[in-house]
């Protein structure tokens, strides 16, 4: 019954307002640099600015997007495979009506699924593309061979780093890996946990300079987020910081980042003619 109803809703939603979602991977070299908090609050601000967003926790096994919202997802991506559910049945609603898919646990390697599962997943994913403006993947830190296929098939990639040398070095390693595999991908860099805006901008500029010099590509400087205790409070209270205190320094910076992004974002067709599904098929099915 539930399947029929959701499928119907899904069909209606497609026919009423067909879209073409931009798929964005949120990645980092080093772990714990702020990807999930970025992904969640960036998504919420996009929703506040009238976009339809699906936040997809792909840190399978370690995912925490629902916890950051004080929710416990009823169904997860793991259940989709275990219980043969449609992807529409595992989409949950968070604050501000943000749609999300939780990562779940008990599946050690989601990314190395067999061909039949992959085809099932991509068929349903294709439907999602018509329902949303943005599909945002919160990835785990680093990348395995197969999770990297998701990253490099995305339309855009946001690399989160902090000014710490270890985070910068690992962020550089991630960007090098992306550039070596796909030159066309627009790469945005966020400098998180900066002591001051000036310090953060300087670190961001230096980082972009090194990438230009050694990798011969221009990354897009998305902006700086301050080191703000509001983030820890938000995580502890399980309320996204934008909703906890929209006047906090971190919230104001996030709003600025989203506005800049929306006013400068690149149209899909100008960067890469192939869609996420077409690219990942080439990498994972037709290999
Ligand atoms: N801008 C910030 N200011 C202060 N603390 C922050 C900031 N961003 C992140 N943190 C701290 O870092 C912790 C980890 O953040 P988060 O879970 O978003 O990182 P992550 O990159 O997703 O981690 P993982 O690699 O484990 O998935 C937060 O719980 C918070 O304590
Ligand atoms: Mg995370």
Which pLDDT score is estimated for 84? 86
- Residue spans of the chain under pLDDT 70: 1-18, 106-109, 266-273, 286-287
Residue in 43, 231, 236, 256 to alter for ligand 1 test, most ligand atoms within 8 A of Cβ? 231
CB 53 within 8 A of CB 250: no
Distance (Å, whole) CA 251 – CA 115: 42
Which pLDDT score is estimated for 14? 43
- Atom from ligand 1 closest to the CA of residue 226: 1
CB 278 within 8 A of CB 109: no
- The CA distances from residue 31 to 142, 174, 190, in Å, are 7, 12, 15
Check pocket membership of 240 for ligand 1, CB cut-off 6 A. no
Which pLDDT score is estimated for 1? 46
- Atom from ligand 1 closest to the CA of residue 138: 22
- Tell me the per-residue pLDDT of 2-60, one tens digit each, with 9 for 90 and over: 455 555 445 444 434 567 899 999 999 999 999 999 999 999 999 999 999 999 999 88
Two tokens, residue 246: 């929209």
HSE, side-chain direction, 13 A CA sphere, residue 169:
3
Q: For 222, list phi and psi in degrees, rounded to 5.
A: -80, -30
Give the residue, by CA position, lying nearest to ligand 1 atom 8: 34
pTM of the model: 0.92
Which pLDDT score is estimated for 54? 97
Which pLDDT score is estimated for 15? 37
Which pLDDT score is estimated for 273? 66
Two tokens, residue 51: 């976009």
The H or E element containing residue 85 is none
Give the residue, by CA position, lying nearest to ligand 1 atom 15: 34
């Amino acid at each position: 019954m539930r399947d029929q109803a959701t499928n119907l809703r899904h069909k209606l939603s497609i026919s009423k307002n067909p879209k073409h979602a931009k798929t964005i991977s949120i990645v980092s070299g080093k772990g714990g640099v702020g990807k999930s908090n970025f992904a969640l609050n960036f998504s919420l601000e996009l929703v506040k600015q009238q976009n339809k967003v699906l936040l997809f926790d792909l840190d399978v096994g370690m995912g925490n997007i629902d916890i950051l919202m004080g929710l416990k997802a009823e169904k997860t991506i793991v259940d989709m495979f275990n219980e043969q559910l449609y992807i529409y049945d595992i989409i949950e609603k968070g604050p501000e009506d943000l749609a999300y898919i939780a990562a779940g646990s008990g599946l050690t390697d989601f990314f190395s699924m067999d061909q039949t599962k992959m085809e099932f997943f991509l068929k349903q994913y294709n439907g999602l593309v018509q329902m949303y403006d943005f599909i945002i993947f919160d990835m785990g830190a680093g990348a395995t061979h197969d999770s990297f296929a998701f990253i490099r098939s995305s339309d855009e990639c946001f690399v989160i780093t902090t000014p710490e040398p270890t985070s910068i070095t690992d962020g550089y390693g991630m960007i090098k890996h992306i550039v070596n595999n796909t030159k066309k991908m627009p790469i945005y860099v966020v400098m998180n946990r900066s002591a001051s805006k000036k310090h953060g901008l300087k670190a961001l500029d230096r980082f972009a300079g090194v990438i230009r010099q050694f990798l011969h590509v221009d990354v897009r400087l998305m902006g700086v987020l301050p080191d703000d205790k509001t983030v820890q409070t938000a995580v502890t209270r399980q309320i996204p910081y934008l909703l906890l205190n929209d006047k906090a320094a971190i919230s104001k910076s996030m709003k600025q980042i989203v506005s800049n992004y929306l006013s400068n974002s690149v149209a899909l067709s100008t960067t890469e003619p192939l869609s996420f599904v077409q690219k990942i098929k080439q990498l994972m099915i037709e290999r």
